[in-house]
Structure 1
């Protein structure tokens, strides 16, 4: 994490619904994933609002865990019993349960990334900001990982390290926890405190993509068209 500047003021935590957050004209970590996909030759990801189509399992789990009053049971194709089973599994962990009780869920943040001067945004699962504790960001992931070691591998392979660095740097967080929740038996919960090495690797990833967003013409020639299309699709290109 960058050295703490005594003059630094953390950006405000905003309470926005998901569709309002998505409409903010700023770069999110998910936008960087779309740019990465273009750079690596993967198929473009569909963009959808929170109320389009059947509710995804991960979204349902996050709602039940973080905003239970907003949970709507009986959605097509959704196993409500399993969702709440996973929630209870998280809460059986005394440390995580305490963080859930003390934290601020689903806070949105707008900030300018300083190395590229890019307006960015994030939406954190949970933020704990208490005077007697390190400023902590927690992100929950449903996973098919068979154990904690495989989940740790996924953190790098799925670019969770990039998300951790993106959020940590924006908020000058002192601690970032990635929590993997198995959605199949034995329904384990893996809590990983992101290391400085993981943050450094993730920081390199997000800064590289932000530089590419600013200058898509620097992409390799064989990916230039796809990268430019991804940048155009984000609707964030700077006017000449």
Structure 2
């Protein structure tokens, strides 16, 4: 299941991001904020926390992408908040200490069912964190949410529930989590997910419909 992460974006298996692109094509909706800027800043935070070797603090770059001093300062403050939260949160502490980061998995001929119809797809995912010994992992997010209520709403609005169900089923794991750090006030929000709970079921329902539509569009 585990491969060199540098190969990930060159692979042809279906990812959750592919499902997102399909959803945006089939059900376009208004975009809020600068999506590219949000992705760019999220990459900086992800790299500082999960792939520090990619970060050049002197040049303020991640790989060949440059960031401003203010962006780096905010990202470092967010990282500090996550580390402080880990002092109170035993799971997060273990995640930061023990997990594999940016690990990707491939599941060949993964079975799906939609409306009683069965089909298969080759699938992939890339974990921010994965605890191999416990066989579960989770996701790191940056968010504009400033309260737990706003974060809970973001989980549904941005289909993070779909993402987590997708990852859980590829890894065949029964647990999952999201830790999100606010870009507004640096608070850390969390969501723990268990197979069969409301978040997992909602996310699985979302991905099964999109996976079927993806399968239909790629019959040839």
In structure 2, what is the equivalent of residue 82 of structure 1? Answer: 74
In structure 2, what is the equivalent of residue 113 of structure 1? Answer: 110
| Aligned-residue offset at 1:190 | 0.8
In structure 2, what is the equivalent of residue 213 of structure 1? Answer: 214
Q: Deviations over 1:75-134 (max 9, x none)?
A: 23462121111112111123313211100000011113211310111001000122xxx4
In structure 2, what is the equivalent of residue 28 of structure 1? Answer: 15
8 A contact 1:103–1:126 mirrored in 2: yes
- Taking only aligned residues, the RMSD between alpha carbons, in angstroms, comes to 2.2
TM-score (norm: length of structure 1): 0.75
In structure 1, what is the equivalent of residue 160 of structure 2? Answer: 160
In structure 2, what is the equivalent of residue 204 of structure 1? Answer: 205
8 A contact 2:129–2:137 mirrored in 1: yes
* Structure 2 residue ranges without an equivalent (≥5): 32-36, 61-65, 113-118
Which is further off, 89-98 or 69-78? 69-78
In structure 2, what is the equivalent of residue 13 of structure 1? Answer: 2
Q: 2: distance between equivalents of 1:21 and 1:129?
A: 19
In structure 2, what is the equivalent of residue 194 of structure 1? Answer: 193
Q: 2: distance between equivalents of 1:42 and 1:157?
A: 11
Q: 1: distance between equivalents of 2:4 and 2:82?
A: 24
State which of 51, 54, 75 in structure 2 corresponds to 1:67.
Answer: 51
Q: Deviations over 1:134-164 (max 9, x none)?
A: 4321101100101112101110111000000
Q: 1: distance between equivalents of 2:142 and 2:213?
A: 30
| Aligned-residue offset at 1:35 | 0.6
In structure 1, what is the equivalent of residue 116 of structure 2? Answer: none
Higher relative contact order (CA 8 A, sep 6+): 1
Structure 1 runs of 4+ off > 2 angstroms?
41-44
Cα gap change, 1:84 to 1:97, in 2 (>3 Å): farther
Are 1:124 and 2:120 an aligned pair?
A: no
TM-score (norm: length of structure 2): 0.82
